[in-house]
């Protein structure tokens, strides 16, 4: 991080068969994709028919200091067309023991973070996105909505999407669970998306447990079909694995993993925003 150079670390288990958990082909795929991306390439992209979109995932991580314990927000963003991803560490949020499970940004913090994301996007793409989609595992409160809405005034579309684990299960007759991509709506109030499940191309279900769908929460007028399609595509954007899908869209998986690394960097160092430094 200090030298601003992405590196790829290889251990003996990559080259030598020592009761490895992965077969040689999988290890070769993972390491090759990682090196290709860190060298400046883009392995694959999300293909969408809509406007150029900036997807943002928000998560929170502890940063321990000698004086107090703070909670930092981290943000992950992936282009829909170029495929480039970057991460930014947000403002410090004081730890609230009564609400640790659902922290929130103040309006000015959300606005400042949104402004930095748009600036990074502009530096990479040469223009502003036409649409911003925000992902979060917990609800957006009024302060966050106001901040994210007011900051990108030049962006015509800003959408808020909650993607949370659910207790909903769907069982069908036969040997396999529902297909990956199955979307269930209950009374137009609850929406569940199976990002894992039976894969027709493989003619099997590659998991070991009953698939757990993601519950999608959106604004009333949101296009749920488009949002679900994008979430499904973003679940395939993890270049850190050879598996067909990780179940979680890269916005939230990326934000969670990167946030943990950023928490170790310290307050005096600005972490490099590129995803190449975190995979």
Each residue's pLDDT tens digit, 152-191: 778 888 999 999 989 998 887 777 888 999 999 988 789 9
Sign of CA dihedral 256, 261, 264, 268: negative
Whether 16 maps to a domain, the answer reads: no
Whether 232 maps to a domain, the answer reads: yes
The encoded tokens of residue 279 equal 């995979």
Whether 21 maps to a domain, the answer reads: no
The H or E element spanning position 183 is strand 183-186
Whether 39 maps to a domain, the answer reads: no
Q: 145 with 152: CB under 8 angstroms?
A: no
Q: 144 with 111: CB under 8 angstroms?
A: no
| pLDDT for the residue 215 | 95
Lay out the sheet containing 69-79: strands in order across.
85-94, 69-79, 53-64, 131-136, 157-165, 214-217, 190-193, 183-186
The whole domain housing 154 covers 51-277
| pLDDT for the residue 31 | 84
The domain spanning residue 113 has which CATH number? 3.30.420.10
Q: 232 with 175: CB under 8 angstroms?
A: no
Whether 245 maps to a domain, the answer reads: yes
Contacts of 95 by beta carbon, 8 Å cutoff, 6+ apart: 62, 68, 69, 70, 71
Residue 11 has pLDDT above 80, yes or no: no
Whether 25 maps to a domain, the answer reads: no
| pLDDT for the residue 98 | 64
Average pLDDT over every residue of 145-149: 91
Look at the chain and report how many structural domains it folds into: 1
- Whole-model pTM: value is 0.84
Whether 136 maps to a domain, the answer reads: yes
Whether 195 maps to a domain, the answer reads: yes
* Confidence grade of residue 81 (pLDDT, cut at 50, 70, 90): low
Dist. CA 98–CA 176, nearest whole Å: 42
């Amino acid at each position: 991080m200090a030298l601003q150079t992405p590196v790829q670390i290889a251990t003996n288990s990559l080259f030598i068969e020592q009761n490895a958990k992965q077969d040689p082909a999988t290890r070769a795929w993972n390491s090759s994709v990682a090196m290709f991306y860190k060298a400046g390439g883009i392995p694959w992209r999300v293909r969408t028919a809509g406007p150029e979109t900036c997807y943002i995932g928000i998560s929170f991580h502890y940063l321990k200091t000698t004086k107090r314990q703070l909670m930092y927000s981290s943000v992950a963003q992936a282009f829909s067309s170029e495929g480039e991803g970057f991460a930014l560490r947000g403002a410090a949020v004081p730890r609230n023991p009564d609400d640790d499970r659902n922290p929130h940004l103040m309006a000015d913090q959300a606005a400042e973070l949104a402004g930095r994301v748009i600036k990074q996007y502009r530096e990479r793409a040469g223009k502003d996105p036409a649409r911003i989609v925000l992902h979060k595992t917990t609800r957006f409160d009024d302060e966050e909505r106001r901040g994210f809405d007011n900051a990108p005034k030049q962006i015509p579309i800003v959408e808020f999407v909650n993607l949370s684990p659910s207790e909903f299960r769907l069982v069908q007759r036969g040997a396999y669970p529902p297909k990956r991509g199955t979307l269930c709506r209950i009374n137009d109030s609850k929406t569940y998306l199976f990002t894992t499940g039976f894969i027709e191309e493989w003619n099997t279900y590659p998991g070991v447990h009953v698939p757990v769908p993601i519950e999608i929460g959106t604004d009333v007028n949101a296009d749920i079909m488009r949002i679900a399609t994008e979430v499904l595509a973003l679940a395939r954007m993890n270049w850190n694995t050879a598996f067909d899908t990780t179940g979680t869209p890269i916005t939230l998986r990326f934000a969670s993993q990167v946030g943990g690394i950023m928490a170790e960097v310290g307050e005096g160092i600005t972490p490099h925003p590129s995803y190449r430094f975190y995979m």
